Each structure stands twice: as C-alpha cells, then as structure tokens.
Amino acid sequence: MCGRTACTLNPDTLCRACGYKDAAGKRRTTSWTKSDVEYVPSTNIGPKDVLPCVVAGSHFGKEDERVLCAMMWSMIPPWHEGDYRKHNLSTHNARLENINNSKLYRAPLSKGQRCIVICEGYYEWKAGKTKKDGKQPYYIYANQEKGVKADDPSTWKDEFSEESGWKGFKLLKMAGIFNTFKTVEGKIIYSCTIITTEANNILSWLHNRVPLFLNEEENAQAWLNEELSVAEAVDKLNKLTLSGDDLNWHTVSTLVNNVLCKSKDCRKKTNPVEEKKNSPSSFMASWLKKGSAESAKRKSVETDKNDKVPEKISKTD
C-alpha cells in the first residue's frame, strides 16, 4: 500500500533526475509536457495532491520517448462527471492481481495508458502492539550512495551528464496507470494510480502491500513500451522481485499523519521513544503529574500542620 509520498526536487531538477537512454543508446533528460494541474514539491503528498509521472511521449504527440507530466494522484474513473476532485472512489492504489479484470482500470490499460510515478520516498505506518500504542510512521526510500541522507537535501548532488547520467538522489519509480478527464471548462486533467503487489520478506514486517517498483531501466522501458500488450506488460510486472539492497527506511515523526502538514520535518529521522517523551501530550501528562505531586505534597504538609495543632492544644489543656 502507498498512501503518502515525498517529492521535493524542483521541476527542472526532475528533468535531469528522470534522465534515460533512448532507443539509440543516447542519454537524455526528460522534458515536461503541458498539464492543467501543477506539481508542487512537498515532503507530504497525499491522494488528490499532484505527483510527477513519466509517460511515453507518444501519448501527447511528442517525439521524445519519455516526458514528465503532472498528474493528480487518485485516478478519475472513466465514467465520472462533475468536479474531478469529488469522485468518491479510493483509486490512489490498484492491486496488480486485479487490474486485468477491473472495470475501473480496463479502459486506460486498453489504451496503453501506463506511467511511472516518481517520488523520493513514501510513508507507511506500522501498527502498535496494542490500540493504545498508535501507529508508527516509517519513511521508505531507495538505497543511496555513502554520505547521502534521505532526510537532508544538503547532502544531495545535482549532476547529470551524457556519459554517466544522473548522479544525484536516487528516486523511487513505481508502476502506474493514468487516465485523462475533460472538465466542463475544457481543461484536460491527468490522474494516476500506483500499482501495488504483495510484500515479500523485505517489507512484510511493515505492511502486506508494497508499490511495484521499476527502478531497473529495463523494467521501466518494458512498462512504457506501447508495443507490449496489457497481458505481456502485466506478466513482466508479475516477475519483478525486490532485493534487500534496493531499499532503506527510518522512523519519522507523527507530523506526517496530517496531510496538511508540509514541514521538512515530516521525513526527518526520529527516535520514537524521544518523540513520545517530547510530544505535547507527554509534556502535558508530565506537567499534570508534577502538578499532582506538588499538590499532594502541599496537602501532606498542611495535614502534618493540622495534625500537630490538636497535639499542642492537648498539651496546653
């Protein structure tokens, strides 16, 4: 499952980060195609926000093999009418096992509308041992070169060359499906869903579903290849395996729980124990506990004083 992502690279840098080898073997950067929704870099992107996606250029009448397109994350059903943001179906994820037979995804797939959803990382929540424990959020991302920290962009490079390609932060690339929707005003809205599959032993401890990653170039090429039938493309996806060397993760603050929170601290590595200790609720509990202790101490002193008064009176009597 994937319900929250992070992508903070600016549009120009993404062109280089999504560079590829064309059919002639030449390395190219990826250009943006026009879209009526805007990609806004963020550490906390949720369903119905906008994600950058890589798509075959032929879908937009482009000569480039690949283009970048800003898409709303949560595919608009083919039959939807009215405000495109008000469809009520949960379409930010699609199960690989069901997409061939799905009425929702059948039409876009039959048109070859396959895409690669781009992000720097995504969030997943692990349930606590008890309901009182709450869920701990984790940030999952591609393994990086030594010295590169996923939560510290100051350690990232911004380098691209025709000889060696992109040398900056390694992005996650996820298999997706997209659709087009025309509003009454005549705008064309592109929207997408991320394909998920059963988690293997690499991430099954965290969640039973994971996005279907296409970080190997040959897998990305296959998924975007319009000459492959839906069945052939899906068959290739079914054969993909996730290596333990591909991913890394760390715990993050519960700030990310609120999709409206776009702070850079959303993906910052945290110690769950320290965060709990320093959380407002823990501070309040500590303050109340301290207040109760001081109150009890005062009462004890007052009681001691009161207990001694009768004793003195008694002696006087």
Residues marked active site are found at: 2, 124
Q: Give yes or no for a contact between 121 and 267, defined as CB atoms under 8 angstroms apart.
A: yes
Give the separation between CA 30 and CA 70, rounded to whole angstroms: 13
Q: Write out the H or E segment, with its range, that includes residue 177.
A: strand 172-182
Give the separation between CA 203 and CA 122, rounded to whole angstroms: 13
Give the separation between CA 212 and CA 30, rounded to whole angstroms: 22
DSSP state of 172: E
Q: Torsions phi, psi of 259, nearest 5? A: -65, -20
DSSP state of 213: B
Q: Is 178 in a helix, a strand, or coil?
A: strand
**Of 59, 10, 31, 27, nearest to 224 (Cα)?**
59
Give the separation between CA 58 and CA 226, rounded to whole angstroms: 9
Q: Residue 225: CB partners within 8 Å, gap ≥ 6?
A: 56, 233
Cα Rg of the chain (Å, integer): 27
